[in-house]
Amino acid sequence: MPDPGVPPTPPVPLTALLAREDLGLRQLAGPPAEAVVLHWVHTSEMADPYPYLLGGELLLSAGVHIPGAADSGDSGTSYFDDYVSRIVAAGGAALGFGVAPVHDTVPEALVAACGAHGLPLLEVPPRTTFSGVARAVWQLMAEARLAELRRVTEAQRSLAAAASRPDPVPSVLRQLAQRLGGRAALYGPEGAEIAGAGREPGDEVRAALARLAQVVRPAGGPGERPAPASATDSAAGVHLAAYGLGTGHGFVLGVAAHRRAPGDHTVASVAAVLLSLLTGEQQSGTGAARSSALVRLLLGAPPEEVAGLLGDGPWLVVHARPDGDGAPDPVAGSALGAALGSALVDAAGDVVRVLVPAGRAPDPLPGWTLGVSAAVAPHDWPAADTQAARALARARATRSPLLRHSARPALADLVPTGEAAAHARAVLAPVTAHPALTETLRTWLSLHGSWDRTAVALSVHRNTVRQRVARCATLLETDLDDPDVRMELWFALRHV
């Protein structure tokens, strides 16, 4: 029998319909209800319902079409056998037979025919109307649709959060495998699995999934037929699916799951889009504008002249470090930029720097610690970079997920800039030749003299902090425990 073309509605388990006590339905024949799902309800009293069925229906009938001679004898057996075989051939999911007003009981020949052809047969009691059965199916279908939408929405949120973590590709694969209850794998351009998460499949399933990934991989030459966006298969009772990531570089997402639930395709498609962004290179007009801006900067153009190519200002500079040990890789940096809404990312060393339009002020992101500068014009980008670095140091020292530079007016603004800078140079002259001492003193004062927090912010041992601060006190010939001294030094450090 060909697979019926069922409608795009959530399937309703037959067990759920039988569990409705208000209906009082009883299964008389056919396979176990656990293996049967319904896609809709249709009522017909035609002797041959085949032309009116699309597949997946619960067909309801009161037996009006049954001729009187069919109630007994061989002619009845032949009639019901033909009737049931036509329902099965049309892809009907189950038959509901209404007791009364035409028949007092379900004909035994009908029960036998349904058992022989493997069609579930339900007895509909006199107190239950066909419209009541149909309404119950629609209610169950609406509940299934709502549950499916909730599941897909929750999965979308969790996948998006995973994509913004410091290890975005493994995080997305882990989240997808968890949501689908199976295995999720990323295949590289050469066809090898480069990352995976979830339960390990058997060798047969692993090999079948790798072959399926080849089906959606982009063609090698210009004359080749374009590959499909996705493909499905099964092996050893496991459902398989592969999704081309659309990057043009041959990456493929493969999924293997023992069960196929409604919404799984949508969830996997969301993961495929995120992985496309994480593995692809953006070749667009925006990318060309960024390249043009970079070239102009390298050739000596001032920042304010090229800023228009990058977007509308003012701008924020964001410094970010992943929680835990280890430096972020370029993919993690790109994922962070995507989460912040900017492709202007520098993932160098253990800190990722992102240039973000001020209208997209960031919120805390799971797995990251962020320092954010004040909103500035392009000519102040270097100063904003320094602000973001200091905000990140304070955020790490205070274990805050995000700290912003504060730019409110202060008493120091009452002193002319030139005079303040001259005073700062004179006060700090003994230590300015030692950048490590200057930065340690600045961080130590900003953290109210905390040895431990300063050590965390500078990534050094607390004893190193003590030694540097003591050296500063010696060179400056002053008492750093005096609050007036600390205030004067802090004022000076703001102008160095």
379, 404, 429 - which closes a domain: 404
pLDDT (average), residues 190-202: 84
- Look at phi and psi of residue 183 and say left if phi exceeds 0, alpha if psi is from -120 to 50, else beta: beta
User: Shortest CA distance to 275 belongs to which of 267, 283, 263, 264?
Assistant: 267
User: Shortest CA distance to 357 belongs to which of 400, 318, 398?
Assistant: 318
233, 257, 279 - which closes a domain: 279
222: pLDDT strictly greater than 60: no
Judgement on whether residues 296 and 250 belong to the same structural domain of the protein: no
3-state secondary structure of 256: strand
Q: How far apart are CA 215 and CA 328, in angstroms?
A: 33
Write the single-letter amino acid at 174.
R
Give all strands (DSSP E) within 26-153, no chain letters: 26-29, 37-38, 40-43, 57-61, 94-98, 121-124
Residue 113's pLDDT is: 95
Judgement on whether residues 251 and 268 belong to the same structural domain of the protein: yes
Write the single-letter amino acid at 205.
V
User: Shortest CA distance to 316 belongs to which of 352, 360, 269?
Assistant: 360
Q: How many domains does the chain have?
A: 5
Question: Is residue 5 assigned to a domain?
Answer: no
- For residue 387, the enclosing domain spans 312-404
Judgement on whether residues 379 and 482 belong to the same structural domain of the protein: no
CATH code (residue 453): 1.10.10.2840
pLDDT one-digit tens code per residue, 234-251: 988 899 999 988 655 678
Judgement on whether residues 57 and 106 belong to the same structural domain of the protein: yes
Residue 288's pLDDT is: 62
Taking a C-beta distance cutoff of 8 angstroms, is the pair 377, 337 a contact? no
Instruction: Cite the DSSP H helix spans in 107-263.
Output: 108-117, 130-163, 168-180, 203-216
Question: Is residue 2 assigned to a domain?
Answer: no
Share of the chain above pLDDT 70, in %: 88
291, 309, 327 - which closes a domain: 309
**Which tokens belong to 244?**
């081309």
Q: What value does the mean pLDDT of the chain take?
A: 84
Write the single-letter amino acid at 391.
A
Specify the pairing of strand 57-61 against strand 40-43: parallel
Specify the pTM. Answer: 0.49
Question: Is residue 45 assigned to a domain?
Answer: yes
pLDDT one-digit tens code per residue, 342-365: 778 887 778 889 988 887 778 888
Q: Bigger pLDDT: 44 or 338?
A: 44
- Chain Cα centroid distance, residue 192: 23
Judgement on whether residues 62 and 16 belong to the same structural domain of the protein: yes
Q: How far apart are CA 487 and CA 451, in angstroms?
A: 18
For residue 100, what pLDDT band results from cuts at 50, 70 and 90?
confident
Question: Is residue 375 assigned to a domain?
Answer: yes
- Report CA Rg, the chain: 35
480: pLDDT strictly greater than 60: yes
Judgement on whether residues 396 and 445 belong to the same structural domain of the protein: no
Judgement on whether residues 354 and 465 belong to the same structural domain of the protein: no
Question: Is residue 102 assigned to a domain?
Answer: yes
